[in-house]
Structure 1
Amino acid sequence: MSTEHQQYSTENQEEAIRQYATRRGIEIVRTYADEGKSGLSLDGRDALKQLLEHVQGGAVDFSLILVYDVSRWGRFQDADEAAHNEFVCRRAGIDVQYCAEPFENDGSFGSDIQKMLKRKMAGEYSRELSVKVFAGQCRLIEHGYRQGGPSGYGLRRELIDHTGAAKGELVRGEHKSIHTDRVVLIPGPPEEVTTVQWMYRAFVEEGMSEREIALLLNNRGISTDLGHPWTRGTVHQVLINEKYIGNNVWNRMSFKLKKRRVRNRPDLWVRADGAFEPIIDRHLFDAAQAIICQRSLRFSDEEMLEGLKQLVFERGYLSGLIIDETEHLPSSSAYRTRFGSLLRAYQLVGYSPDRDYRYIEINRVLRRMHPDILAEVISRIEHLGGSVRCDPATDILTVNEEFTASIVIVRCLTMPAGSLRWKMRFDAGLRPDITLAVRMDAGNEHPLDYYLLPRVDVAAGAVRLKEENSIYWDAYRFDSIDHFFWLASRANIRSVA
């Protein structure tokens, strides 16, 4: 159970399962429950993991598993993951029955179809909920309300009601309990505010480095908001965070649907300037940013990379925090600005992180490719006598005032076994009449083929394609983009007649 509906409380599920067992003369010998856990992945679902381990290990004292409904395995974005968990149980000779579903899980064609649909619906529910929650969080940020995270040194979180009246300060670990309440940032204790202001003046006016400031703070017995000693990195974070001038900035990092955590481009940040009472003057803040920026400009590319190479030799691995903590190097943000990304800087010094971050670089290349393909499509349509209008906010094309089209570039993913997969995503909000999907080759360098997907035949969400697909999908596949231009071309009615 996560937190979405009362019907999914563990108590209600357990009662429904007990009634089902009583009606059928089934004895319940053990219960596996994950309370307050998201079903988007197995992470944190210790009870489900334990169940699967017991089943696969063969050390079980039961022959049947009762599940409330199909979605309780999980609201996985890949429906096959939920199906796999049930298959693991059946392979071990343990049957699975669903207590709140209108069908018997008897392996019949009808039950299999319904389970497949239920799994897809469960995943789609999470995806749609994620979109709605994200949109709501964006609106709250734009109205100046804080969305999660600690306040930081020198600031505090204050709870306000729906009228804007203050209800009290939230200490660390406390959260709002009323849905209509909101959280804002306010200046913290006067001694902390004074310390933050001193840090900025020491950096800008006295020319102190972050490490010198940290050393002085520690010598004075002043700790961070988490009770830790100050370091170069923690001082640096205070000096670059816009919340100290009252700006509310959010979505620097994304972690949607329990997928990979990614650092977003600044144009994707959601912000509201002047949302909170500032404790640092804007001119002083801008001066600090100018110093930090100018500091990185003093280093040539070769010097920055040589310093990074030496840091790898000394520490054995790299991260943004390690770079920020190193006195003689520019900040991690300076490396991102100079080389396009930290990953690119890592590659230039021959360092490969444990995780594979190549997808970030590939996505960046594909994003740069999209405007070129869009411009080519518009030019070709106009050359064929058609008219096309492009929405600058969504890149949706309106062709001949007759139909709308969206162009998506689909990245190729190489699986560990060497097979290729493509995941096409369809925006439920835009819903164009036709989606032109450009499927990239294995190296993500050139288009492999094209899919012309009409809205009436394609549901919103995501579709995973393989190298060979069913006729349902390959009916929309073309080797060239010419068929799309044929749809948009104009012809003289007399010549056609």
Structure 2
Amino acid sequence: MSTEPQTFSPENQLAFIGRFAEKHGFEILRVYEDAGRSGLTLEGRDSLRRLLSEVEGGRADFEAILVYDVSRWGRFQDADEGAYHEHVCRRAGITVHYCAEQFDNDGSIGSTLLKTVKRLMAGEYSRDLSVKVFAGQCRLIEKGFRQGGMAGYGLRRLMVDEHGAAKTELRLGERKSLQTDRVILVPGPEAEVATVRRIYALFLSGEPEREIADRLNGEGGRTDLGRPWTRGTVHQVLTNPKYVGDNVYNRVSNKLKQRRVVNPPGLWVVAKGAFEPVVASDIFEKARAIVEGRSRRYDDAELLELLAQLLEAAGALSSLVIDERDDMPSSSVYRRRFGSLLRAYRLVGYTPDRDYRYLEENRRLRALHPEVVGSVVEGLERVGGTVDRDPATDLLGVNGEFTTSIVISRHRSTAAGSSRWRLRLDAGLAPDFTVAVRMNPGNETPLDYYVLPSIDMTEPRLRLAERNGFSLDGYRFDDLDFFYSLAKRASFTEAA
């Protein structure tokens, strides 16, 4: 289905499919809709994945699949991928019909050629659109506008109109209200700005990141997410050019849902002095020179020798163990120099006891949690609810009536290949509801949601499989619209 701004497109497509079904004598049993999802891959298209799973598992109680056109089946960058998924359906005795195409999907040479051309055109459309969108984003960066992401400690996002006039400061999870609006970064509260400048002063005086973090924590300081300072968060403040007012884009790219790539500085898009700086440029350059000098003075052999010494001292290796050491380069240096941390581990004779991807996924999920909480807050406020978010625990108070905790459950696979999830409820916070986000295989996007009322949950830990019986699956939802509706307000006259 098309994206939300195309207000009537999904409805129009469904109406067209309905007319096609009536004309050809089909009865529509159910609708599988992935509204506003990218068609580049199956990731995030939970409804289509569920449909294909039913087909492959022999659970399909239908004889045909009606799709608006070839592009709605997918804009796969490999045209053979779309053909493969259709082949899976055809092998199960289920025909895919493209309702708006000018050919019958009857397996003839003509229809096969047209389908192939259409699949190639659909993929090419996404590639061409990606180039245009990237060019537009680069132009906005050069004009000094922020392109996504949280502001960070000591900074805030300010929404401006098309003429640059300030409108309002955006809180965590909030987005601009009009397409013509833009976002810039501005200095945050004076106390945070003073802390950022103090971090630079302490670092230039010779105090390492770990000691700075300990000092801030000892004084009761917290990051912009309400969490204790770590060596990594201090390091990020010292190395991010946004603190000197530079707008930097394309440091990391993930175009067309392909593999995430860390780009060399030559490919970065930089607008110097786009924002009001928090620290002076000469101070920032001195700090960056110190950071870069720590890694430049080591060759590969020296890096591996340091890693071997750390292994002997700590007994195990991980990115967190490496990043918390002040006397050696960060884990990102090892990734860049050796291609991956796993390869660096092998070169010093270390094999992790568990799959290294588990640690990477956990770190990614921890970083994802504030974004998920922000999207829930946005959804509740969109229907007219009021939300009070505890900065220390992320516990949400909704309308002053009930509290909600958001937990993310990592996907795991058993030795037999079955999916499993574990949930640990925040018993200490005692929320009225726990919204559990089950991640998909790969732990990249949410698969579904469980809205669990505390009054019905007697155990602090839950183990979930793909199917769990009505006692648990009765609380399962494909999206959070039902949960948002709990916060919806109605006028007295409407209620009457």
TM-superposed CA distance for 1:301, in Å, is: 5.2
Q: Name the CA shift for 1:294/1:185 in 2 (closer, same or farther; >3 Å).
A: same
Q: Name the CA shift for 1:329/1:93 in 2 (closer, same or farther; >3 Å).
A: same
What residue number does 2:275 align with? 276
Question: Is the 2:186–2:275 Cα contact (8 Å) retained in structure 1?
Answer: yes
In 2, Cα distance between equivalents of 1:111 and 1:316? 58
Within 5 Å, give how 1:33-432 maps onto structure 2. 33-205=33-205, 207-296=206-295, 302-311=301-310, 314=314, 316=316, 318-319=318-319, 322-332=321-331, 335=334, 339=337, 345=344, 348-349=347-348
Tell me the TM-score normalized by structure 2. 0.66
Q: Name the CA shift for 1:128/1:7 in 2 (closer, same or farther; >3 Å).
A: farther
What residue number does 2:455 align with? none
SS of the residue aligned with 1:156?
A: strand
What residue number does 1:387 align with? none
Q: Name the CA shift for 1:66/1:298 in 2 (closer, same or farther; >3 Å).
A: closer
- Percent same amino acid at aligned positions? 61
In 1, Cα distance between equivalents of 2:213 and 2:56? 53
TM-superposed CA distance for 1:218, in Å, is: 1.4
Q: Name the CA shift for 1:303/1:16 in 2 (closer, same or farther; >3 Å).
A: same
SS of the residue aligned with 1:100?
A: coil
CA offset digits 1:313-354 (Å, max 9, x no partner): 7475544x65333333223455578x4766675564356897
What residue number does 1:23 align with? 23
SS of the residue aligned with 2:156?
A: strand
Question: Is the 2:79–2:123 Cα contact (8 Å) retained in structure 1?
Answer: yes
In 1, Cα distance between equivalents of 2:149 and 2:209? 23
In 2, Cα distance between equivalents of 1:299 and 1:146? 35
Question: Is the 2:4–2:36 Cα contact (8 Å) retained in structure 1?
Answer: no
Q: Name the CA shift for 1:186/1:62 in 2 (closer, same or farther; >3 Å).
A: same
Consecutive unaligned residues of structure 1, counting only runs of 5 or more, are 357-497
Question: Is the 1:7–1:13 Cα contact (8 Å) retained in structure 2?
Answer: no
TM-superposed CA distance for 1:221, in Å, is: 1.9
Question: Is the 2:294–2:328 Cα contact (8 Å) retained in structure 1?
Answer: no
Q: Name the CA shift for 1:167/1:125 in 2 (closer, same or farther; >3 Å).
A: same
CA offset digits 1:9-37 (Å, max 9, x no partner): 33222111111112222111111111121
TM-superposed CA distance for 1:244, in Å, is: 0.5
Q: Name the CA shift for 1:350/1:147 in 2 (closer, same or farther; >3 Å).
A: farther
In 2, Cα distance between equivalents of 1:51 and 1:175? 33
Q: Name the CA shift for 1:336/1:87 in 2 (closer, same or farther; >3 Å).
A: closer
Question: Is the 2:141–2:147 Cα contact (8 Å) retained in structure 1?
Answer: yes
Q: Name the CA shift for 1:310/1:44 in 2 (closer, same or farther; >3 Å).
A: farther
SS of the residue aligned with 1:174?
A: coil
Greater displacement, 26-35 / 74-83 = 26-35
SS of the residue aligned with 2:26?
A: coil
Tell me the TM-score normalized by structure 1. 0.66
In 2, Cα distance between equivalents of 1:316 and 1:48? 42
Question: Is the 2:4–2:35 Cα contact (8 Å) retained in structure 1?
Answer: no
Question: Is the 2:141–2:247 Cα contact (8 Å) retained in structure 1?
Answer: yes
Question: Is the 2:2–2:10 Cα contact (8 Å) retained in structure 1?
Answer: no
CA offset digits 1:64-96 (Å, max 9, x no partner): 111111111210000000011111111001111
Q: Which amino acid aligns with 2:329?
A: P
In 1, Cα distance between equivalents of 2:87 and 2:69? 16
In 2, Cα distance between equivalents of 1:135 and 1:187? 28
Q: Name the CA shift for 1:341/1:108 in 2 (closer, same or farther; >3 Å).
A: closer
TM-superposed CA distance for 1:8, in Å, is: 8.0
Q: Which amino acid aligns with 2:239?
A: I
Greater displacement, 70-79 / 287-296 = 287-296
Q: Name the CA shift for 1:196/1:73 in 2 (closer, same or farther; >3 Å).
A: same
TM-superposed CA distance for 1:284, in Å, is: 1.4
Q: Which amino acid aligns with 1:271?
A: V
Q: Which amino acid aligns with 1:17?
A: I
Q: Which amino acid aligns with 2:238?
A: L
Question: Is the 1:236–1:324 Cα contact (8 Å) retained in structure 2?
Answer: no
In 2, Cα distance between equivalents of 1:7 and 1:114? 29
Q: Which amino acid aligns with 1:45?
A: R
In 1, Cα distance between equivalents of 2:81 and 2:240? 40
SS of the residue aligned with 1:6?
A: coil
Structure with the larger RCO, 1 or 2 (CA within 8 Å, 6+ apart): 2
Q: Name the CA shift for 1:293/1:105 in 2 (closer, same or farther; >3 Å).
A: closer
In 2, Cα distance between equivalents of 1:300 and 1:71? 50
Q: Name the CA shift for 1:121/1:322 in 2 (closer, same or farther; >3 Å).
A: farther
Question: Is the 2:17–2:99 Cα contact (8 Å) retained in structure 1?
Answer: yes
TM-superposed CA distance for 1:306, in Å, is: 2.1
TM-superposed CA distance for 1:263, in Å, is: 0.6
TM-superposed CA distance for 1:355, in Å, is: 9.0
User: Aligned residue pairs: how many?
Assistant: 353
In 1, Cα distance between equivalents of 2:329 and 2:101? 59
TM-superposed CA distance for 1:307, in Å, is: 2.3
What residue number does 2:469 align with? none
Question: Is the 1:248–1:275 Cα contact (8 Å) retained in structure 2?
Answer: yes
SS of the residue aligned with 1:131?
A: helix
Consecutive unaligned residues of structure 2, counting only runs of 5 or more, are 358-496
Q: Which amino acid aligns with 1:252?
A: R
TM-superposed CA distance for 1:302, in Å, is: 4.2
Q: Which amino acid aligns with 1:19?
A: R
In 2, Cα distance between equivalents of 1:163 and 1:29? 51
Q: Which amino acid aligns with 2:151?
A: S
Question: Is the 1:312–1:318 Cα contact (8 Å) retained in structure 2?
Answer: no
In 2, Cα distance between equivalents of 1:311 and 1:56? 49
